[in-house]
Structure 1
Amino acid sequence: MTNPNLYSLFQQTFSQQPDAVAVETEDGRTWTFGELEAHSARMANWLTTLGLQPGDRVMVQVEKSVPALVLYLACLRAGVVYVPLNVAYQAAELAYFMENAEPRLVVGDPAKHDVLRELTQRLGVAHLATMDASGQGSAWTDAQNHAAQHRVAAVAGSDVAAILYTSGTTGRSKGAQLTHDNLASNVQTLHRYWGWQPDDVLIHALPIFHVHGLFVAAHLALLNGSPMLWMARFTPAQVLQWLPRATVFMGVPTLYVRLLQEPALSPAVCARMRLFISGSAPLLTETFHAWQARTGHTILERYGMSETLMLTSNPYDPAEGPRLAGTVGRPLPGVQVRVVNESGTVCATGDIGGVEVRGPNVFPGYWRMPDVNAKEFTPDGWFRTGDMGFVDAQGYLTLVGRSKDLIITGGYNVYPAEVESYLNELEGVEESAVIGCPHPDLGEGVVAVVVARPGATLDPDALLAAVKNRIAGFKVPKRLFVVDQLPRNVMGKVQKNLLRQRYADAFRTATS
């Protein structure tokens, strides 16, 4: 019987071409598939010697590096649960994640060692290890003392492989549990649907602490046995240098906007490219058409979530239809998508409603949140995404908004309630409202509107400086306005639609 452990799927590819290049970094360093196999075995053995058992959580907040990818593979093969965190998260956020996930091991940047040591000791985390931007640190050093062979842990397909924390409307992050079966089904579906070829080469320009960079981009390259041209951080110049060698590129809309600003971008540079994919945030129609004009390629936009992995995609094969600007395509094979009204009835074609989904890619629920799960899933097993949209006559899904007020800035999710909770704790702040406004580079920029307590005088710059020390940089408002009162309806609810109208031009006169 085949082991459902996701690593077993990758291991089949690794064993077929151990000497082939799996990753090439910006400095020219290469890693073979055989090296990924051997180093992940050493790390898996190290995890075992720490006393970690299948199902234990490993929380990781490190910069992107190949050793960080190896650590993820090691967690898979050891059967422990991988919990990646955005590197921008600060101490208050980390404390909540540790309290909620109860990891047995935390791996963090050596620069944050003192903060992490205090948190892990206070919260009873058994082990703390380090890994820096180059991949060096105690995690890597200690793993080298172990054997380069490791028997992949036997797991059930329904066992949790990873937990991704995604902010909630209550201001508290929720841990989306993804199983080995969820991850395996999605990568295999995308591999077929997007027509991966034996000679494909991927430019990997995304972070690896979320779905897009790790569970889509890296997974597909590993499954296909394709080299990854690996960028620690996105730079347009490096992408342009690598484009003539590559065939696949995945990016958030912000990356495409920045590449379009480069004079060297041309059809000639993209001549070998097979596929450009965009996701994690809405792709503006202007960007879609500008990319066609500049490169001769049509971007494929798709739709997914931390809780569901990939759900829909514009067609890869032209025989299945065109790639339409402003849409996220049709449901992937095996995935069901429906749009329902407030009564739960499926909407007619073209009518807007709530997007609900079902399929082997959809997570079983949030970590330790049974009450939330009961609300987020329908009685017949569909997950309520919180997105609003409609399906046209061709079966393409178009998203028109988010019922949960989610802001997507540069591909990262920001929930207003969380940012508001930090602003409201600051001295002199009576209340706040956080909204997303059009931003020329990020898609949406975070804007805060704050009301002072009676007798208090608020300095916008001082408020922003204070909140910067408490939350991740991408969540920090890029504009903050102090007002006498917030607009409310007759029920007393803040009318954020009016605020969005009032501050729609917040980023049109200045660059952020």
Structure 2
Amino acid sequence: MDSPATILPEAAARFGAKPALVTNTRTMTFAELDVESDRVGAGLVARGVRPGDTVSIYSQNRWEWIVAYHGALKMGAVVNPVNVMLTAEELIYVLQDCESTAVFVGGDRTEVVLEAAGELPGVKAVVTFDDDTIAGAVSFTDLLLEDAPSVRHSPRPEQACVIAYTSGTTGHPKGAVQSHRGIALNCGLTATMHGRDDSDVIVTALPAAHVYGNVAINGTLMAGGTVVLMERFDASRALELIAEHRATLFEGVPAMYATLLADPNLAAADLSSLTRCTVGGQTMPLTTMEHWQVRSGAPLIELWGMTELSGLGTTHARHAQGPLGSVGVSLPGVEVRISDLSDTSREATAGVAGELTVRGPIVMLEYYKNPEATAEVLDEAGWLRTGDIATKDAAGNIFVVDRLKDMIITGGYNVYPAEIERVLTAHPAIALVAVGPLPDHVKGEVACAYVVLKTGETVTEDEVIAFSATRLAAYKRPRSVRFVSDLPKTSSGKIMRRKLAHSNVSRVG
């Protein structure tokens, strides 16, 4: 399979009447997904969208999102999945930058998109998933009812398939152009590594617009499994869905597992159907992993990936798991190297932390119309600089230390927030923790821990710092602790360290 556009047609031919997608409003078979996405493709063509045009999707998880994604790919469009957390200004930038010609949108955001479209003469249609009466918008229901011949485009494997925008930590976000081959390979290789088949049922709240969510959803559909898709993450509801659907997999980010473990309904939850779970997005404390594995009775398969890789870059195989705390080995056919921090063209000394670099067919083609930014991360030999610091053991297992940009330099020493977070999460009163820098006139920067306590627990700043003292070198310990009610997160549930100091979460304790 060289394109995700063929996932539904091939799966429908094999599993037609089998449930493929379950949401809170509808359950759809493989055949229904295939037919309705054909109609979406035909409807786009009828409104002037042509192969190679960009089609954006701006919505929370829902069945319409999945149908729109596959419909756009079938008629040859390039899909632009948009983060639902973007502001109107950020949305306008993304739609302008990728030269969007059509936008699918959830009803609560339709007015924002219509207003943005007024500044975008290239947008030929705004399709709303909800309200059928909004002036200027096309109803998704009408699009599905339109009597038009289905259109199936046959893209070349190396052609652009998706333009997915990075989080944009500084300046504007960049559009990573992913190829048809890259996405199809990532879905297929991930499904193979995790042992997915047509008996699997996954429960996930990972955003469909995120590469991790895309691979989890489409890798499962490719294998003939059933996806139970949550609109957004809710721990209690996730536990109910696992039991109700006898889920074999749960897939999420570290903060989701920490929240599940702290949920009062966990004690009575039936998790006996789980055969494995996956976790990615950020480094995860060993204690959290151990607690989840003991409670669920299922192995937790770690993974690592990024937007520029169309999804995963490394993970463990289902029946060949490496040490806990490792994100596994490279996907088949993908090269992974730990590069020297002072010269990324050279491999780092064995056992020494360096920058994780990747080469292979899953690597993005470019940042859309941004050759300067592309050249900064992608060299002539095809190696992608990821910005992650990692080590590799003798067996080839990768251990991600932290993000290079998140490193805190205190008194000349390099301090990695993830190391402090792993230690503090082991404290019995702490549910969630994130570490960021605070300016210091002597040391330049010092580490500050932002702590969410478990319900009913209390602990002081001095006690938290003292807890770290027996486990961390003096220069690594947090110098300040702030107790908060929640931590700022992305739409996929990842903690945003860069927003810790200026977040609007309420202070407690």
- Give, as a single letter, the amino acid of the residue that structure 1 aligns with 2:56: M
- Contact kept? 1:8, 1:152, Cα under 8 Å: no
Structure-2 separation of matches of 1:273 and 1:283 = 20
Aligned to 2:165: 165
Q: CA deviation at 1:78?
A: 1.0
Aligned to 1:129: 126
Aligned to 1:193: 193
SS, match of residue 123 in structure 1:
coil
Q: CA deviation at 1:165?
A: 0.5
Distance 1:263 1:119, change over 3 A: closer
Aligned to 1:38: 35
* 116-125 or 373-382, larger mean C-alpha shift: 116-125
Q: CA deviation at 1:307?
A: 0.5
Structure-1 separation of matches of 2:30 and 2:284 = 34
- Contact kept? 2:274, 2:296, Cα under 8 Å: no
Distance 1:62 1:361, change over 3 A: same
Structure-2 separation of matches of 1:100 and 1:8 = 28
Structure-2 separation of matches of 1:237 and 1:277 = 19
Q: CA deviation at 1:503?
A: 6.9
Structure-1 separation of matches of 2:396 and 2:127 = 48
- Contact kept? 2:435, 2:447, Cα under 8 Å: no
Structure-1 separation of matches of 2:30 and 2:8 = 10
Aligned to 2:54: 57
- Give, as a single letter, the amino acid of the residue that structure 2 aligns with 1:36: L
Structure-2 separation of matches of 1:271 and 1:330 = 28
- Contact kept? 1:61, 1:85, Cα under 8 Å: yes
Aligned to 1:336: 335
Structure-1-length-normalised TM-score = 0.78
- Give, as a single letter, the amino acid of the residue that structure 2 aligns with 1:290: H
Distance 1:50 1:182, change over 3 A: same
- Give, as a single letter, the amino acid of the residue that structure 1 aligns with 2:162: A
Distance 1:264 1:90, change over 3 A: closer
Q: CA deviation at 1:496?
A: 4.5
Aligned to 1:255: 256
- 1:314 and 2:304 correspond: no
- 1:91 and 2:96 correspond: no
Aligned to 1:382: 383
Aligned to 2:400: 399
Q: CA deviation at 1:377?
A: 1.4
Structure-1 separation of matches of 2:72 and 2:213 = 17
- 1:373 and 2:374 correspond: yes
Structure-2 separation of matches of 1:121 and 1:509 = 40
- Give, as a single letter, the amino acid of the residue that structure 1 aligns with 2:119: R
Distance 1:11 1:357, change over 3 A: same
1:444 to 429, 434, 437: 434
Q: CA deviation at 1:102?
A: 1.4
- 1:352 and 2:353 correspond: yes
SS, match of residue 300 in structure 1:
strand
- Give, as a single letter, the amino acid of the residue that structure 2 aligns with 1:53: R
Q: CA deviation at 1:60?
A: 1.8
Aligned to 1:224: 223
Distance 1:239 1:268, change over 3 A: closer
Aligned to 1:156: 156
Q: CA deviation at 1:112?
A: 3.4
| CA deviation map 1:104-143 (0-9, x unaligned) | 1122233333432232122323324243469998341231
Aligned to 2:465: none
Aligned to 1:237: 236
Distance 1:164 1:445, change over 3 A: farther
Aligned to 1:421: none
Aligned to 1:281: 282
Matches within 5 A, 1:403-482: 403-405=404-406, 444=434
SS, match of residue 45 in structure 1:
helix
Distance 1:266 1:107, change over 3 A: same
Distance 1:252 1:498, change over 3 A: closer
- Contact kept? 2:182, 2:362, Cα under 8 Å: yes
Q: How many residues align?
A: 437
Q: CA deviation at 1:395?
A: 1.2
- Give, as a single letter, the amino acid of the residue that structure 2 aligns with 1:7: A
| CA deviation map 1:277-319 (0-9, x unaligned) | 00111111110111122222221110000111211112311xx
Structure-1 separation of matches of 2:125 and 2:374 = 31
Structure-2 separation of matches of 1:487 and 1:134 = 52
Consecutive unaligned residues in structure 1, runs of 5 or more: 408-434, 450-485
1:80 to 74, 77, 80: 77
Q: CA deviation at 1:392?
A: 1.1
Q: CA deviation at 1:169?
A: 5.1
- Give, as a single letter, the amino acid of the residue that structure 1 aligns with 2:138: S
- Contact kept? 2:163, 2:177, Cα under 8 Å: yes
Structure-2 separation of matches of 1:509 and 1:143 = 46
Aligned to 1:7: 5
- 1:176 and 2:176 correspond: yes
Q: CA deviation at 1:376?
A: 0.9
- Contact kept? 2:41, 2:74, Cα under 8 Å: yes
- Percent identity (aligned): 29
